[in-house]
Each structure stands twice: as structure tokens, then as C-alpha cells.
Structure 1
Amino acid sequence: MRGNETLLDFRTSKFVLRISRDSYQLLKRHLQERQNNQIWNIIQEHLYIDIFDGMPRSKSQIDSMSGSLAGEAKREANKAKVFYGLLKEPEIEVPLDDEDEEAENEEGKPKKKKPKKDSMGSKSKKQDPNAPQQNRIPLPELKDSDKLDKIMYMKEATKRIRLGPDNLPSICFYTFLNAYQGLTAVDITDDSSLIAGGFADSTVRVWSVTPRKLRAVKSATDLSLIDKESEDVLERIMDEKTASESKILYGHNGPVYGISFSPDRNYLLSCSEDGTVRLWSLQTFTCLVCYKGHNYPVWDVQFSPHGYYFTSGGHDRVARLWATDHYQPLRMFAGHLADITCTRFHPNSNYLATGSADRTVRLWDILNGNCNRIFTGHKGPIHSLAFSPNGKFLASGATDGRVLLWDIGRGLMIEELNGHTDTIYALKFSRDGEILASGSMDNTVRLWDAVKAFDDIETDDFTAATGHVHLSENSLELQLGTYTSKSTPVIHLHFTRRNLLLAAGGCYSPF
């Protein structure tokens, strides 16, 4: 037992106990009256008493916040300033569609479509006061292809369905047949054109969701014969002989536990039990780089929303920040007491959230590597995280079947969503941030009213000193719908640019 890391953490770290001043005085007086000096010595030696002024918390509030391996987070741990606002969007002119031009010719007045501004997910051109500086961390410059993709995104946004309690999304479920205990990870590209699966047989498989088939680039000798000045050069470099609906990527020698598409859809990341992270080209469908830094299984990997950077977390309890052109990590984030099971980038790419088997969520500053937030409350290992589109809130799901919502700026838990009966492996906010979808091993997808949950904190009379808010007694009031699959656990969720919900999971069928 001397070599057990968890026990070593207990012996070297103090267990944090948050208690009101009145309760602390009563406890101290009680032990002194009973002359329990031995218990008092144990408390002083092994517990960190975090005393706050104000009203003691109710039993339900204490129950919802407890559960972490090392107790609750110290209040000072969540006081640091977090720039949770979104970065200023680059100004890109959106050309008119053919439909727009027809409308313009008919009426004689120019009409220019602009993306709808959504209350939760709108990206204003004005600088957000809570946003980090544009150059706080170096981000890659936009290429022409990125600008074209932004234009496509803005055009799709004009056709986006506005969701709400009275207008729930349609759900399209992708079932990977004959993959019982074989499908270990799923990801879908931002434009919903490709879907990839990681499997226990060490392979990564990529499918095209659209009628366009997957094609590899021609060989070097064939490329030398192409006229590089032609307008359709991008089409000519693709080899029609390689066209197929799916591709298999071989390279790992252990189950693939996490995969992530790059924002520009040119690359795919995968991580495995073999302790490596691999970067795959979706032009040639070959492995470009094998990143070695973790000595143990890597449970999750994710690309930054702006590309170039990516993060990984695994059994070694350390999250790593990488750049695609560096074979060594740029940052290492250490502090968790157990495996890091999931990682997520903040929408502004300046922060990283990690969920762990020590039942805590931590928010790290990518610029300096500091831990700015520690969220405690889950009763089991955390397996899913999701940031709201406006960057203000974070949702987490765990083996305890609960979804917890956190206010990043204030460092508080604001809601506890109960309803699932098994591990929650997938969380996703709709594009406008109005609905939160959760997917679980209990074969259900549940939809929650995120707007109502977040509006409550704006009006809630909470005390910042105690670090807690009044959680609603019945979270089922926030539940908008439950959708059950026949026998497929939900391991991934994705909202398309028009707010259609895609869900995915593996199913074993003997027939």
C-alpha cells in the first residue's frame, strides 16, 4: 500500500472541508467539552478547514458539492480572473447567393443576407469585455480555404432552426452495427460531412456522410503531370481510383480511445492504449506524426477550435498541450489525483477543461499553465465535458448519471440535472446554446432547457462568499425530452450547423 499513488495523495495532501464560521465554532466547542483532543489533533493535521462567513449551507447543497477524492476545492482556487469571452470574429464579406441575386433583380434593391444573431451563441463584432486579447496566445492565420469555410458557415447560419422548449431538434442516430464493445470513440466534422470511429481492434475508420466519396491524392509522379495553373487543380489532384465511402487507418497497436477532426477537415487525431497520439492526413489517409509523451494509455484527445493546437489526457494524470508542428508538448498540466478521462478546449482556445477519475473538473490557462478553476460535486469519474457556445458555462457528465452545470466566471455550480441512470459519455450544446443534449450508456438522449438553467443564476440571490447557489429541487422541470434507442449506448452527440442533432453509438447484432 506504500506504493499506491492515491493513498500517497491522501497522506501528503490535506482533505478540504468547507464549513461556515458558526458550524466551525460549534464543532470546536463540542470537541473541547467532550475533551476529544485526539480527534481535534487529527482534524488539524489532516483536514484543511475552509471557513466562510455567512449562513451555513443546507444538506442538499453540501451533498451536491461533495464527492471529490480530496474534498471540495478551496475558495481561493476559484478566485482567479478567467477571460471566458469569445474572440473577435474576422470580418469576412459574404457573397450573395444566386437566390439573393434573383431577389435583388426583382425588387431592384440589393439584399444581403446576414447570419441571425442568437441570444446565446451570437458572435458580435465588438470586442467582448470578458474576452482575452486577440494575440494573448498565438493562433494560426486564416487561410483562403478557412475563409471560404467561414462563409459557408455564415450562410448555413442564416438557415439555422431556432431551438427552444416549443421547438425541439430532430435527432438522427448513427448506429455502428456489429461493434459491441468494439466502438470506443466517435467524432463528426463541424460541417457534418465526415464521421470517424475508433475501435478496440486498433483501427480508425472514416466514413463520408454525404454523397461525395473519399478520395486520396494522386501519387507524386501523377501530380507532376498536372497543370498547376488550371482552375480545377484541387479536383485534378484527387485520384478517382481510390474513391470509396470509407477508409481504414492502421497504425495503433491498442484500442483507440479518442479521436478528433481538425476544424479544416484536413487532419484527424487519434489516441490509444499504446500511449501514443497519431495525426492522420485526410488527403492521403496516412499517418503523418506519432506523438510520444504519455507512458500509459491516452484516454482523450481534442483539436483546438482554431486548429494547430491539440490536447491529450490519460492514465498518467497529466494533460498535455501540443502543436501539430512540434513533436514535444508545449505545456503539461499536472494536478489531478487520478486519470484524466476527457479534455475540452474553451471556444476562445485560451483555456482547457479536464475531467478526471478523481471526480473533479479543472480549468487550465493555456498561456501560463495555471489551474484557474477546480469544480467538485460529481460522485464518480467524469467522462464528458461541453462548453456553451458563448463560453460562459461548462457542463460535465459522469458515471453518477448526473449532469452538472458550472458558471466559469464566478466559479460556481449553478444546476444539477438528474434523470440518466448510467454513465454520461456525451454532452453537446446546440449552436445557439439554447438546448443541452446528453447521451448515456442507459441508451437515451435527453434534452435540457439550458436558457432557463442559466437565466436562474442571473436572478438568483446567491452569496459569493459561500460559493454556492440555491439549486432547483426538481431538475426534471428543465428536461425537455427523452429519446430511447433500442439497445445502443450513446457515446457521441453533434449539432449540425442548422441545429439537427446527430447521435452515435455502437450496437452488436448477431443476425
Structure 2
Amino acid sequence: MDSNGIQILPPPIDFNEIFQEFTKMINLLDSMFENTRAEFSTLLYPIFVHLYSRIVNAGEIDAARQFMSNFSSHIPPAHFYQIDLLKHVIMPVQLNNIDFIQNLSDTQYGVRLSKTCHKQLESFLSKNPNIQEIVRDHIQIDIIDTPNKTVPYLDVFTGGLLGQQVDDKKQKVYYGVTRDDIVIVGDKKKKKDAKDLKKKDVNAPPPDRIPLPYISDKILEERRTAYRESIKKGRITADNAPSVCIYNALNTNGGLSCATISETSAMMALGLNDGRVVLQCLSEDYFKILKPSNQLNINEQDPDDFDTNIYEDIPLEKREKRITLYAHSSAVTSTSFSPDRRVLLTASLDRNVRLWCLEMRRDLVVYRHPSAIHQMKFCNRGLYFATSCLDQTVNVWTTERVHPIRVFSEPFGSILSLDYHPNNNYVIGGSEDRYVRMWDVLSSSCVRTFTGHKSGVRGIKTSPDGRHLISISEDGALCVWDIGQQKLAAVQRCEYAPTKVPIEFTRDGSVFAVGTPHSGITFFSLDSLIAGDPTETRVDPAGFIIHRYLTKKTPIFDIQFLKKNTVMCIGALEQ
């Protein structure tokens, strides 16, 4: 509308010109050398979607169908699902109902090009105004100095619905772990002398960067004992297979929705689809009951006897090894124990997270969310926890407040996998938009975005030393990310994984286990991967898979390594 209030209509679209420009782009792509073609092909998907949307907005149904028929086969396979959805969009009103189209309109698509490829692109754009306008308004190009890559190499890094993120690598990440958060990490720590152990890890965050609660001596001693006993048994290697024990959940009256084994494997929590939470002791211990308040004389008690004098003296025949908690009105999606195992967090589709005191058999606090909760995770200190919701946000909470202290809203899809970094300064989530994001709890910013998955992320886990990150997507691609070098270290093709996938590391971080819905549990050697060439990304590296335990009809819900490198799992028969 001009200064006189007269509406100015946009110029009419020349469909022949659009067809000719995209045809020229395809022809230019075919004439390039393979290394340049690999980079240039990353521009096809966003340009195709924007040109198709323009034709549909103009109301030209026949032209839109012809454009789709002529050029859809040239789009990289990673985006075939989006192109298949786009085939059914022939009316302007439909464009507003497709999430990925709106995301491409509102957010710039990220592309990394070498200087050589960028020069050829500039020459092409100067002669094709329609594509030039799309690149200027909707595509962010990051010019890099590294040599051009081949098609197979570049294919590993493509697949994100918004391309490659180009800005987040500029922020510093403290991926190291402080001495309070880890007891021993591998043999490298053992070989260092006392002087080296006193040196501060330059990659670890300052101790006072975020306020963290004190770790009790009891918990630290438990972790030290667990590590010592794990190395007595010997490391899990290709020649030393672990023993695996699977607990099957039967007669769940609606199905098992989630399960968690405590850090010491002393108890497990089962979340059911009918809203119940069942807790079971796996050791000789039992569930204690706190004395009534009028029987507690805390000020008169000896501190050394505090833990024993606050509990009721229960006869042997009345001691409970299994309890059931009732409160949720819908399926329980996630459970998480505090480090001292006295508190349990449960999340549900009823939009609530409940904090339970196991010694009182009741929920103490309810943390309400605006939408259903997919995943929830306690940090290893026990004060903070993170949740991911249906509204595509990740929230960080403290147990002392009923409102979140951080809200991360960058994802363009639901976050089905969530993990806390071992140093508690970062929250990591994998979402349906195919990205793995790393958020800084202090600054509330996304400091890393890892691109490479071709479908939604179903499982995620950080190594005990904080250096590596494991993620697995729906199509079965297992990715190993090096947080320190900010790159993808390896990709292993596994089985299709339509549901959440549990991932767990050994105490020393040398091996990790992955539970898949079809094949049971698979063990991978991270040490063998690190020992190889760190400069290039490897696909299906030799020696990476060391053991595989198959199940016929039992998907795995959770995995925990015991003190002597035996493995405990929870499954649900025929579910």
C-alpha cells in the first residue's frame, strides 16, 4: 500500500521463467565436478519448496503439479518425506497448515559452501532473479575454507529440516567434568601422578558457574566402590563379553510406557499406561517408612545415627519390596531417581511432573506444564531436572520451585530424547526436526547444533567424561559426536527404531549399550572408535560393534551397568 492508501499488488509470476531457472540449476548441477556438485545440491531442497509455494500461492494448480512432476525426483533423498507431503498441497490455504513450510518461511535455511562453489553460485544467481531472491531472503550461506567434499561424505551431514546451523560454533562449551562430578574416568586418570591430578581441567566449567548442591560422602563412596568393583571384573571387550539379566514386565494392565533402574541397581520404577507407578526393590533391601513428625526428635539425635533413627522399625514379615504409587490420570512417560534414591520424579501425558517421597509413599510437589510431557531427566546432583513437552520446548526446573527457571524454544519438533551433561551445565535434546541441540543452562542459549540425522532422534546419551555424545534416530542411524572438536566422529547403521531407545555407558565410558525394539541389546566400543583416525567421519567402522544379545519379543526400556560389569535391563514381553 502506497502513501495514498492505494494497495499495490505484487507483480504477476512468470511461471515459464520459474521453470526455466530451476531447469538451468539442474543442468548446472549435472555439469559440475562431483565434489562441487555435492555442496551445490544442498540448495535444491529449500529453493524447490519456496518456488513451489509461490506457484501454489498464485492459485495455479496445474502449474504446481507440473513443477512437482518435473523436478521432485532431483531433490536429495533425505527430504523425500517432506516432498511427498508437498505433493498434496495445491491450495494456498494448505500452506499455512504444513509446519516445515512455515519453518522455512520464518527461518533461514543454513548451507555451508566452499569459496569455489560460492563463486559459481554467485555467477548463476546474477542471471536468475527468482532464485536469487529466494537465496537472499531465505538462505544463510556460510563460506568455509576447507576443501570440497564428495557426495558420500557430505551426505553424512545433511538431513536437518533447516539445513546446517552456521552460528552456534562461535560459543565456548565447557565439556569437561569437574572432580566432584566424576570419580575416575578410564585408565588415563589412573596413570597420572598426584601432581597432574591436582591440575584443573581447562575444559571443565568453573565450580561456581552455576549453583550446584553438595554431593554427600555416602554417594561419592558408592560411586568409588562401583568403579573399583567394575575394573576387578575386567573391562568389556570383544573377547570379554558381559552377562546380561533382563527383567520382564508382565500383566501391566494396559502396557509398560517407561522404566528406570536406579544408579546402584537397588530398585527400579515402572511407569504404566494407566497412570500407575510401580517400584520394586532388586536387592535384599526394602522400602523404609519415615516416622511421623511427632516421633522425630531431630535436634536430640546423634548425627551418625540420623539415617537409622528417622525410620519406623518394621517387622520382617511386613517389610515391603514393592509399592505402587497412584496420582497420574494418564500414561506415565518418564521416571527418574534422585542420587540418594529417596526421591522419585514421574512425568505423564496429563501434563504434570510429580515429586514423590518414597519414604512417605506420597507426592510432595506437582510441577504443571502447558502440554503433555515426553521426557524428563534428573541431573546427577539431584536439584535440577529437565523436561521436554509436546509444545516443542525444553524446560529446566529446580525442585525448590514450581515454575521453570529456563525455557528453551529453538526446536521445530517434539523432543523425544533428553539428557543432562555430566557437569550439569548443559541440557542436550534430540528432536523430530532431526537436530541434536546442546543448551547452556547459565546463558539459556543453544551453544551447539549437531546435524546429520535423516529422521527424528529417538535416544541420546553423554559419555561419563563429557566429551562424546551418542544419538540414534528413527531410521536406525547411530551417531557419535565429538563435543570437543565439534564434529561427527562416526555413523553406525542399526535397526529401525520407532520408539524411545535406551543408551547407557559403562562406569569408565569405554563401552556403551543400546537397546533396540527388535534386536535386544547391542554393545559398542567407544575406545576402538577413538583409537582410529580422528580427522574423518567413519561409516560403519570395523570393530565398533563388539557384542549383540538378541530377544525374540521383548523390547528394552532401560539399561544399567552393575558394579562388576554385568548388565541389567527392563523389557516388556510382546509389547
Query: TM-score normalised to the size of structure 2?
Result: 0.76
Whether the 8 Å CA contact 1:164–1:434 is kept in 2: the answer is no
Q: Matches of 2:189 and 2:482 in 1, distance apart?
A: 14
* Greater mean deviation of Cα atoms: 313-322 or 14-23: 14-23
What is residue 131 of structure 2 aligned with on the other side? 39
**Structure 1 residues 15 and 504, CA gap change in structure 2 (3 angstroms):** same
Whether the 8 Å CA contact 1:177–1:508 is kept in 2: the answer is no
What is residue 211 of structure 1 aligned with on the other side? 284
1:322-471 → structure 2 map (5 Å cutoff)? 322-423=397-498, 425-456=501-532, 459-460=533-534, 462=535, 470-471=536-537
Write the letter of the residue equivalent to 1:81: K
What is residue 566 of structure 2 aligned with on the other side? 500
Q: Matches of 2:164 and 2:540 in 1, distance apart?
A: 24
Q: Matches of 1:194 and 1:359 in 2, distance apart?
A: 34
Give the drift of 1:382: 1.0
Whether the 8 Å CA contact 1:199–1:256 is kept in 2: the answer is yes
Give the drift of 1:328: 1.3
Whether the 8 Å CA contact 1:120–1:389 is kept in 2: the answer is no
SS in 2 for 1:240: coil
Give the drift of 1:419: 2.5
User: Do structure 1's residue 309 and structure 2's residue 384 form an aligned pair?
Assistant: yes
What is residue 277 of structure 1 aligned with on the other side? 353
* Greater mean deviation of Cα atoms: 14-23 or 366-375: 14-23
* Greater mean deviation of Cα atoms: 424-433 or 409-418: 424-433
Write the letter of the residue equivalent to 1:131: A
1:19-418 → structure 2 map (5 Å cutoff)? 19-30=113-124, 35-74=127-166, 76-89=167-180, 118-119=187-188, 124=197, 126-143=199-216, 145-146=218-219, 149-150=222-223, 152-153=225-226, 156=229, 159=232, 161-179=234-252, 182-220=255-293, 228=301, 234-235=307-308, 237-240=311-314, 243-292=319-368, 294-418=369-493
SS in 1 for 2:187: coil
**Structure 1 residues 31 and 271, CA gap change in structure 2 (3 angstroms):** same
Instruction: Report which structure shows greater RCO (CA 8 Å, sep ≥6).
Output: 1
SS in 1 for 2:556: coil
Whether the 8 Å CA contact 2:495–2:519 is kept in 1: the answer is no
Where structure 2 has 5 or more consecutive residues not aligned to the other structure, the ranges are: 1-93
Question: More helix by proportion, 1 or 2?
Answer: 2
Give the drift of 1:505: 1.8
SS in 2 for 1:40: helix
Give the drift of 1:22: 1.6
Give the drift of 1:230: 10
Whether the 8 Å CA contact 1:203–1:249 is kept in 2: the answer is yes
Write the letter of the residue equivalent to 1:130: N
Count of residues in correspondence between the two structures: 473
Q: Which has the larger radius of gyration?
A: 2
Query: TM-score normalised to the size of structure 1?
Result: 0.85
Write the letter of the residue equivalent to 2:102: L
Per-residue Cα deviation, 1:37-79 (whole angstroms, up to 9, x for no partner): 32232233222222212321211222111111111121x3123
Q: Matches of 1:199 and 1:122 in 2, distance apart?
A: 46
SS in 2 for 1:475: coil
Per-residue Cα deviation, 1:336-373 (whole angstroms, up to 9, x for no partner): 11112122111111111111111111111111112110
Q: Matches of 2:268 and 2:454 in 1, distance apart?
A: 32
Q: Matches of 1:330 and 1:220 in 2, distance apart?
A: 32
Percent of matched pairs sharing the same residue: 29
What is residue 79 of structure 2 aligned with on the other side? none
SS in 1 for 2:147: coil
Question: More strand by proportion, 1 or 2?
Answer: 1
